[in-house]
Structure 1
Amino acid sequence: MSYDEFYVKSVIRSLQDWPEPGVVFRDITPIFKDPKAMRMVSDAFIQRYVDSDITHIACIDARGFLFGSIMAYQLNLPLVLVRKKGKLPGETIHQEYELEYGTSAVEMQSDALQAGDRVLLFDDLIATGGTLLAACTLINKLGAEVIEAAALIDLPDLQGSTRIQELGIPVYSLLAYEGL
């Protein structure tokens, strides 16, 4: 683990039994109060993708928006929002999925992507992978291709990153937390 990764991991807060008993929630919000940590995270992702052939960054509601928008700005790429159902104006497509605590749905605007677009899909955390897999389905429905799924944190014991990789989509995370 590099100094930057160690530092960022030291800033992330682990909350026991939230939002329900038995869950350890990895709270990234302290990163946004620490400019050094925020810059380290942003720079790590920007450096990873600066020479890539991605054409768009799609990010997941809501914490994924925070780093996704920084990356899109710095890489001069369009930003595509994947939001909870009912939050986007205009014509949308949606996909239901299961998550750790129940079911939900995400949506994208119908004109957000088109055939030939090469998309980096970003979220703050990969747990069971349900949200990212639903977003991949939406991106594919619009004719675009997910080049890589990325997240600040991976929880590999929940198998989300494995489920995404089984679809042939590479996964990258800056940090991983073993154990539930």
Structure 2
Amino acid sequence: MTRALLLDRFRWVDGHADLWPVFRDGAAFAEVVRALAEPFRDAGVTAVCGIESRGFLLGGAVALELGVGFAAVRKAAGLFPGEKLTRETDPDYRGFRHVLRMQRSALSDGDRVLLVDDWVETGSQALAVRDLVTEAGAELVGCAVLVDQLDPAVRSRLGRLHALLAADDLPEC
């Protein structure tokens, strides 16, 4: 059901994937959030993190669904008070590197963290978040995304991955 719901709302706009219609439909958004959280309900997750910007929306909603807090991961620009942990990513699908930041106080030793995002393609941001989580003394227990486009070699480095769609499921651009 969730797969069909996502495919029904997915579109290509000027060569770019557009998943924003999922957020506009309350019932669809709620179903997607439940589906992202479901495999991790018994994983002892104590915090969810998400990468700016769609990861904030999805991650915050999944945190509420699981009854845990949310730890934001911001890109280089933007206000973010306090001491921060930072990581530069490997190049993304456009060849860009990003500096990701997380407040040091966002996670504690022993936290079990779920990363939630909309799309994982090269894995560069997800792997950088894994390093941030580890540096904070926490453990990344998995990653939940709407669309998985990872190379299998990168997927094995990331750990447990739950995706609602594979990129091959999407219509041609």
- TM-score interval w.r.t. the shorter chain? 0.7 to 0.9
For structure 2, the residue ranges without an aligned partner over 5 or more in a row are: none
Residue 6 of structure 1: how far off its partner (Å): 1.1
Larger mean CA deviation between 124-133 and 39-48 belongs to 39-48
Instruction: Tell me: CA distance 1:124–1:47, structure 2 relative to 1, closer, same or farther (3 Å).
Output: same
- 2: CA distance, partners of 1:137 / 1:43: 27
Decide which of 11, 17, 40 is 1:13's aligned counterpart: 11
Alignment partner, residue 131 of structure 1: 125
One-letter amino acid of the counterpart of residue 2, structure 2 = D
Any residues of structure 2 matched to 1:10-89 within 5 Å, and which?
10-17=8-15, 25-87=16-78, 88-89=80-81
Report the secondary structure of 2:105's partner residue: coil
- 8 A Cα contact 2:36 2:162, kept in partner: no
**Residue 176 (str. 1) matches residue 166 (str. 2):** yes
**Residue 148 (str. 1) matches residue 119 (str. 2):** no
Residue 54 of structure 1: how far off its partner (Å): 1.1
Structure with more contact order per residue of length (Cα contacts < 8 Å, sep ≥ 6): 2
CA-atom RMSD, angstroms? 1.8
- Cα offsets for 1:9-59 (capped at 9, x unmatched): 110112353xxxxxxx32110112222321220121233333321111111
TM-score (norm 2): 0.88
Decide which of 113, 123, 127 is 1:119's aligned counterpart: 113
- 8 A Cα contact 2:85 2:104, kept in partner: yes
- 2: CA distance, partners of 1:15 / 1:162: 30
Identity of aligned residues (%): 31
- 2: CA distance, partners of 1:163 / 1:65: 23
- 8 A Cα contact 1:12 1:30, kept in partner: yes
- 1: CA distance, partners of 2:140 / 2:153: 16
Structure 1 stretches of 4+ moved >4 Å: none
- 8 A Cα contact 1:85 1:94, kept in partner: no
Residue 7 of structure 1: how far off its partner (Å): 2.0
- Cα offsets for 1:97-119 (capped at 9, x unmatched): 12112111100001111221111
Larger mean CA deviation between 25-34 and 141-150 belongs to 25-34
- 8 A Cα contact 1:165 1:171, kept in partner: no
- 8 A Cα contact 2:47 2:68, kept in partner: yes
- 1: CA distance, partners of 2:133 / 2:38: 24
- 8 A Cα contact 1:139 1:145, kept in partner: yes
- 8 A Cα contact 1:8 1:40, kept in partner: no
